[in-house]
Amino acid sequence: MHTFELSQPPIPKQARNGLLGSLYVVLFKAKINLLLPFGPMAILLHYLTRKHGWVFVLSLIGITPLAERLGYATEQLAHFTGPTVGGLLNATFGNATEMIISIYALKKGMIRVVQQSLLGSILSNMLLVLGCAFFAGGIVHYRKVQVFNKAAAVVNSGLLLMAVMGLMFPAVLHFTRSEVQYGKSEISLSRFSSCIMLIAYASYLLFQLKSHHSLYNPINDEGLNESVSDEDEEPEISQWEAIIWLAVLTAWVSILSGYLVDAIQGASDSMNLPVAFISVILLPIVGNAAEHASAIMFAMKDKLDITLGVAIGSSTQISMFVIPFCVVVGWIMGKQMDLNFQLFETATLFITVLVVAFMLQEGTANYFKGLMLILCYLIVAASFFVHIDPSSKSPFLVFFPTSNQRAEIIPI
């Protein structure tokens, strides 16, 4: 993270053009905005046909450019706020799409969709986004070894392991039937752990942005001046325009998220896809569209520290902030949202964090590491494609028989 002064940037031409210039820059300049009409089409289709499969697909496509534009508006606002507040803004709006979808699903009582979409977002960032970035960067710079700040990566790996610990104990407590009060102790533990995780994340922000910000300086400082001039161009819209666009885009994402969540079950039935696959694999690809593009772009420019900040930083935010935040919001709403993500999902996250931690421990990247991460993600995706989510959190396994056997219920 570069700590250069951005408090009084020059007023750019587009900012002087007022409303028309702002509309052009935000809505028409980026090619991804060609997908924006799919959002209204999804809403129209919802009321005209009630075909949930199509509504889901169109909502998914329609939210993709909104997620990217949210990232863009946050970036523009960060020009005026300086690095510290800019970092907090990125933490807040970087995962705004996932957060909005999760809170809407929580309101509807779809707790498993909340859990699985957030888990999928972590898996997508750590395996697919980071893998594609390492692969693309390794191909472009195949003659050299790409390096990144190992110390910062180790801090993030530690936080991710702490998140795994927070998710593992409620699941183990439930499935070993070792709770003091069955069904209640895991929720109490989840709420306590969530508060601890939020304190840990606040401490991490203080550590990253204030006390040890030098730890997060890029490892290739010799290219600092060049990277400042490359990355840190003039803002294209004014401060107030950025704030207004953030509000407008967040509201539009909220509206579309409602239709998206409503269509999940119908889409699962009509497209013959498990809800777990839709929640863990398809939903996060949309939420991570902006991160995916920017992580690959920075890796190709040999700026791996920014790539890691985007991919691993986003996973840390979701696991240590968004998931505990949803548990606390569920607590306020009176919903039984907890950190028991079931054994299958918790085991998947644990193995993923271990694999990525091993990949990052050397502080170097190449195309082969990227390829391994992508292939790991394909295994995870295939696993969720054949995974049937249990309808209730029962501590029993059901043994499904062949023709000459009878069904058995086996306690874990």
Question: pLDDT by residue (tens digit) across 188-232?
Answer: 889 999 999 999 998 988 887 777 666 666 665 444 444 444 445
**C-alpha dihedral, 389 to 390 to 392 to 398, nearest 10°:** 180
pLDDT the model gives residue 222: 43
Q: Average pLDDT, whole number, for the chain?
A: 78
Higher pLDDT, 131 or 29: 131
pLDDT the model gives residue 3: 37
Question: What would the pLDDT profile of 63-108 be if each residue is shown by its tens digit?
Answer: 888 877 877 787 777 777 765 566 566 656 767 777 887 888 888 8
pLDDT the model gives residue 374: 94
State how far the Cα of 288 lies from the Cα of 66, in Å rounded to an integer: 11
Question: What would the pLDDT profile of 258-271 be if each residue is shown by its tens digit?
Answer: 788 778 888 888 88
Mean pLDDT of 141-166: 86
* pLDDT greater than 90 at residue 154: no
Do 231 and 20 touch, CB atoms closer than 8 A?
Answer: no
Do 321 and 201 touch, CB atoms closer than 8 A?
Answer: yes
* pLDDT greater than 70 at residue 6: no
CA distances from 104 to 111, 112, 309 (A): 10, 13, 28
Share of the chain above pLDDT 70, in %: 80
- To the nearest 10 degrees (0 to 180), the angle between helices 150-175 and 343-360 is 160
Do 159 and 330 touch, CB atoms closer than 8 A?
Answer: no
State how far the Cα of 286 lies from the Cα of 288, in Å rounded to an integer: 5
State how far the Cα of 404 lies from the Cα of 13, in Å rounded to an integer: 77
The region of weakest confidence among 28-32, 37-41, 85-89, 210-214 is: 85-89
CA distances from 16 to 150, 234, 258 (A): 43, 13, 36
Q: In this structure, what are the phi and psi dihedrals at residue 40, rounded to the nearest 5 degrees?
A: -60, -35
Bridge partners of 364, per DSSP, are 147
State how far the Cα of 235 lies from the Cα of 77, in Å rounded to an integer: 8
Q: In this structure, what are the phi and psi dihedrals at residue 364, rounded to the nearest 5 degrees?
A: -130, 160
Do 336 and 111 touch, CB atoms closer than 8 A?
Answer: yes
- To the nearest 10 degrees (0 to 180), the angle between helices 343-360 and 111-123 is 20
**Residue closest to 219 by CA, chosen among 306, 136, 157:** 306
pLDDT the model gives residue 223: 45
Question: Which tokens hold the place of 234?
Answer: 């003039």
Mean pLDDT of 274-283: 83
* pLDDT greater than 60 at residue 329: yes
Q: Determine how many CB atoms are found less than 10 A away from the CB of residue 230.
A: 11
Question: What residue spans of 207-238 are helical by DSSP H?
Answer: 224-231
pLDDT the model gives residue 110: 83
Higher pLDDT, 11 or 323: 323
The region of weakest confidence among 93-102, 300-309, 315-324 is: 93-102
pTM of the model: 0.77
Mean pLDDT of 123-129: 90
Question: Which tokens hold the place of 213?
Answer: 């910000």
Most confident of 3-17, 102-116, 174-188, 316-330: 316-330
Question: What residue spans of 213-342 are helical by DSSP H?
Answer: 224-231, 239-270, 275-277, 283-287, 289-300, 304-317, 323-333
Q: Determine how many CB atoms are found less than 10 A away from the CB of residue 44.
A: 12
Assess if CATH 1.20.1420.30 describes domain 33-214+238-386: yes
* pLDDT greater than 80 at residue 36: yes
Question: What would the pLDDT profile of 379-405 be if each residue is shown by its tens digit?
Answer: 999 998 888 877 544 444 444 455 455
Q: In this structure, what are the phi and psi dihedrals at residue 115, rounded to the nearest 5 degrees?
A: -60, -45
Higher pLDDT, 170 or 374: 374
Cβ neighbours for 63, distance < 8 A, ≥ 6 positions apart: 39, 97, 253, 256, 257, 260, 286, 287
* pLDDT greater than 90 at residue 372: yes
Bridge partners of 397, per DSSP, are 410
Mean pLDDT of 148-168: 87
pLDDT the model gives residue 127: 92
Q: Under DSSP, is residue 410 helix (H, G, I), strand (E, B) or coil? A: strand
State how far the Cα of 364 lies from the Cα of 356, in Å rounded to an integer: 12
pLDDT the model gives residue 252: 84
- Domain borders along the chain are 33-214+238-386
State how far the Cα of 263 lies from the Cα of 104, in Å rounded to an integer: 13
pLDDT the model gives residue 84: 53
